[in-house]
């Protein structure tokens, strides 16, 4: 009798629940129709449709009646169609979970339902609805749709608590109000949003902070509405700037301590933050509070990309870029009015290893561009610590930002290795200061080193590697001698003498301005050149530390006779 009452109660319950379920399912809307896309729509088309509709019906923007419900419907549709597995299941079964019976559709005049509960396949607590097994439940035969209930079990008596536990998702009748069998009323998002790196305390320190890379970070909790909306626009911005930045998310319900320590815990809505290097050498978090649109967010992110490249006018380039420093220099020549995104991204990644410049040029016919040896734009030119110039790449073709940054990074890495080989160690400073780099004279740095503002320029000319090494060593010592570091009142704080070395094998035309033969009979010589007066003096004797010191001292004291140059010296 007891069992009969239990079974009767169960049947009544299932009948009511089933009618409720059928009613709910009959109102379900095709996600393709919700987003207004065809069934063969691409992921990109789905994303665009979702983005457009979510902006239109977002509760913060649309206060009309029903907008909030419509917004939830849009999010649910995108949840299905943006997930490859869920979309496949929906297309096959009409249900994102892949349950063949939950399609609510008509298959030959019959509707199929089957639970995916733990009782299926012979376990306890499962149930099935089959069109082929009609048992009277107040229904009628004929054309009516038919259902039967078959409760699984391993034998023994039927336990009502087990049935209710399976049906409600655990806990029996008093275990909660969620319909576990038919899906929770509130979605749970325990994992990171798709296509985003999940950030925790360890990865934040290791991958985000002080790496020179800009990040867009979404902070959220699973219960907050609108996560998919922000996820969508962040994903689109991330794709458009792929290679220049990274995209990640923090589940603040899981990473509570991280979110609190950074001050990014979300309250009523997700928060979008940019890890930026715009204003500081080390990065900092800046919150985006603008409109939830791709255009606005992209503009904000681009404005907060690194700005370590010095934008210079073409007329200033020789002075800014031409003077050697301890770090190698690189300059981008392009027709762009502003510093390109790619160059800004690289300036963040290599900010501690290079000095970055960029300038706008009209075309390759400019005389300075020709001096640099550039024959196609855009181009990247490097300057080693010793003043040696090298065109790293010209006529750069950007297939996509990610591959372009990768290719240019390889060039910079190679140039840095070359600089380390030729420049003396900066970590080992000797007492005689023999680590001072004397620059190699080129067309680019000539005006800065030996131009008219320099009273006297001492140039060590070499024809062999041995001669170069000897001159570099001697001139770096002589240039540091205090007796030679006198200032010229007419030229301000600039030293009376500047120093450089010159490769005679590559710059023979320069030497013809001083001598008909170009001093071809000498392996090493010293030239004292006064650019303003177009006069020079030459030393062709034994180039030793004592003789060089004596020669420079005589130049400063006016004891050396200067001759007029044959013509204006030019460098290529």
Buried b (16+ CB within 10 A) or exposed e, 529-558: bbbeebebbbbeeebeeeebbebbeebbee
Specify the fold of 197-303: Glutaredoxin (3.40.30)
pLDDT score of 48:
85
Specify the fold of 311-422: Glutaredoxin (3.40.30)
Say what the pTM is: 0.54
CA–CA separation, 524 and 470 (whole Å):
9
pLDDT score of 153:
38
* CATH no. of 446-564: 3.40.30.10
403, containing H or E segment? helix 401-422
- pLDDT < 50 stretches in the chain: 15-16, 18-27, 101-191, 425-435, 483-495
pLDDT score of 528:
94
Is-contact 273 259, C-beta < 8 A? no
Q: Is the dihedral of CA 269, 274, 278, 279 positive or negative?
A: positive
pLDDT score of 319:
66
Q: What 3-state DSSP class applies to 551?
A: helix
Domain boundaries, the chain: 2-168, 197-303, 311-422, 446-564
CATH 2.60.120.380 fits 2-168, yes or no: no
Is-contact 246 239, C-beta < 8 A? no
In this structure, what are the phi and psi dihedrals at residue 149, rounded to the nearest 5 degrees? -115, 130
Tens-digit pLDDT profile for residues 96-154: 665 554 433 433 333 333 333 333 333 334 444 433 333 333 333 344 443 433 333 33
Contacts of 262 (CB under 8 A, 6+ apart): 204, 285
Contacts of 171 (CB under 8 A, 6+ apart): 165
CA–CA separation, 191 and 231 (whole Å):
13
DSSP structural state of residue 70:
H
pLDDT score of 201:
93
- Does 2-168 match 311-422 in CATH topology? no
């Amino acid at each position: 009798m007891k069992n009969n009452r239990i079974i009767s109660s169960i049947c009544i319950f299932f009948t009511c629940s089933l009618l409720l379920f059928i009613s709910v399912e009959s109102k379900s809307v095709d996600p393709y129709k919700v987003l207004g896309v065809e069934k063969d729509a691409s992921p990109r088309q789905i994303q665009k449709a979702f983005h457009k509709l979510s902006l239109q019906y977002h509760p913060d923007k649309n206060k009309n009646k029903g907008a909030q419900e419509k917004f939830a419907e849009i999010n649910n549709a995108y949840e299905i169609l943006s997930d490859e597995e869920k979309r496949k299941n929906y297309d096959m079964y009409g249900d994102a979970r892949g349950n063949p019976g939950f399609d609510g559709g008509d298959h030959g005049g019959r509707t199929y339902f089957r639970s995916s509960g733990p009782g299926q396949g012979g376990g306890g607590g499962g149930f099935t609805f089959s069109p082929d097994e009609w048992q009277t439940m107040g229904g009628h035969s004929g054309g009516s749709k038919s259902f039967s209930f078959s409760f699984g079990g391993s034998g023994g008596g039927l336990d009502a608590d087990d049935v209710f536990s399976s049906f409600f998702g655990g806990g029996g009748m008093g275990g909660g109000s969620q319909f576990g069998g038919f899906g929770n009323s509130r979605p749970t998002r325990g994992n990171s949003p798709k296509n985003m790196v999940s950030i925790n305390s360890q990865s934040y320190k290791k991958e985000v902070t002080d790496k020179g890379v800009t990040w867009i970070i979404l902070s959220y909790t699973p219960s907050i509405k609108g996560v998919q909306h922000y996820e969508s626009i962040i994903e689109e911005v991330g794709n458009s700037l792929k290679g220049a930045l990274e995209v990640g998310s923090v589940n603040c319900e899981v990473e509570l301590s991280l979110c609190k320590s950074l001050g990014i815990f979300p309250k009523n809505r997700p928060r979008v933050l940019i890890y930026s290097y715009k204003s500081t050498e080390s990065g900092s978090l800046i919150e985006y509070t603008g409109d939830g649109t791709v255009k606005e967010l992209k503009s904000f992110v681009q404005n907060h990309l690194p700005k370590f490249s010095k934008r210079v006018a073409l007329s200033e380039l020789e002075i800014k870029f031409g003077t050697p420093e301890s770090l190698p220099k690189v300059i981008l020549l392009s027709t762009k009015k502003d510093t390109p995104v790619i160059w800004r991204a690289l300036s963040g990644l290599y900010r501690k290893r290079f000095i970055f410049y960029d300038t706008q040029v009209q075309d390759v016919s400019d005389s300075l561009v020709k001096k640099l040896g550039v024959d196609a734009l855009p181009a990247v030119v490097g300057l080693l610590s010793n003043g040696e110039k090298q065109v790293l790449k010209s006529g750069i073709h950007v297939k996509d930002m990610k591959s372009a940054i990768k290719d240019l990074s390889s060039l910079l890495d190679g140039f840095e290795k070359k600089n380390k080989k030729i420049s003396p160690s900066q970590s080992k400073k000797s007492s005689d200061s023999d680590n001072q780099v004397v620059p190699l004279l080129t067309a680019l740095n000539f005006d800065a080193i030996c131009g008219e503002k320099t009273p006297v320029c001492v140039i060590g000319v070499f024809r062999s590697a041995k001669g170069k090494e000897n001159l570099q060593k001697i001139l770096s010592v002589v240039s540091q001698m205090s007796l030679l570091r006198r200032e010229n009142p007419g030229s301000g704080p600039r030293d009376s003498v500047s120093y450089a070395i010159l490769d005679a094998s590559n710059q023979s035309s320069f030497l013809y301005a001083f001598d008909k033969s170009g001093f071809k009979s000498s392996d090493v010589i010293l030239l004292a050149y006064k650019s303003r007066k177009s006069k020079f003096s030459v030393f062709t004797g034994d180039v030793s530390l004592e003789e060089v010191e004596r020669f420079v001292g005589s130049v400063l004291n006016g004891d050396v006779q200067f001759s007029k140059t044959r013509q204006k010296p030019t460098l290529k």
